Amino acid sequence: MHRLMWVYAAVLATSPVAARELDSSDTKKARSYTAFQTDKTGGVELQFFCDHNYPGDIQMLVFTDVDAEEGDKERPSSAVSIVVNGTSFDDLNGYYDAVEGERIVVVDTLEESRLRQVLATARGATQPLQILYDGRSQRFGIDGIVETLDSFVGGCERS
């Protein structure tokens, strides 16, 4: 949970955008990197996040644009799948959290090695990235993906 506090701070400092972007924060106390992309509706946001407190660890978050419900945090884990150019990364271990009343799906650092595989594969994406969880499917564009992911991964390695 302590780790997610940095994510929340990064989220509150950014606004949803139509194109893939990178945000970084570098202060004496904290250094973090967030690569984010909204879906075409602008309501759902995909983020990859890392910070200096956990060097090399990467999280993935999906801000679902759905109101959090009582008991979300107590729900068992949620299987998350990511499809990149037809390659499916299935059954990533995710869980629910909430930020300002919105349900968040988090794939935590326990899946870091698989998330790095997703990022490496996404560099060559020619089709939108697809995220599937709990019967929902979200698609995210790939404009600027190579530059954004290269900067993100490079920043995470320096953290």
Locate the domains of the chain by residue range.
2-158
Choose between 53 and 95: higher pLDDT: 95
Q: What is the pLDDT of residue 18?
A: 35
Kindly indicate the confidence band of residue 13, based on its pLDDT and cuts at 50, 70 and 90: very low
Bridge partner list, 87:
84
In this predicted model, what pLDDT tens digit does every residue of 40-84 receive, in sequence order? 888 999 999 998 787 778 999 999 999 988 877 776 678 899 999
Quote the pLDDT of residue 19: 44
What is the b/e burial string over 66-85, where b = at least 16 CB atoms within 10 angstroms of the residue's CB?
A: bebeeebeeeeebebebbbe
- What is residue 134's predicted lDDT score, i.e. its pLDDT? 87
Q: Is the per-residue pLDDT at 4 higher than 80?
A: no
Nearest to 59, CA basis, from 152, 154, 158: 152
Residue 101 CB coordination number (10 Å): 9
pLDDT reading at 31 higher than 60: yes
Mean pLDDT across the chain, nearest whole number?
Answer: 81
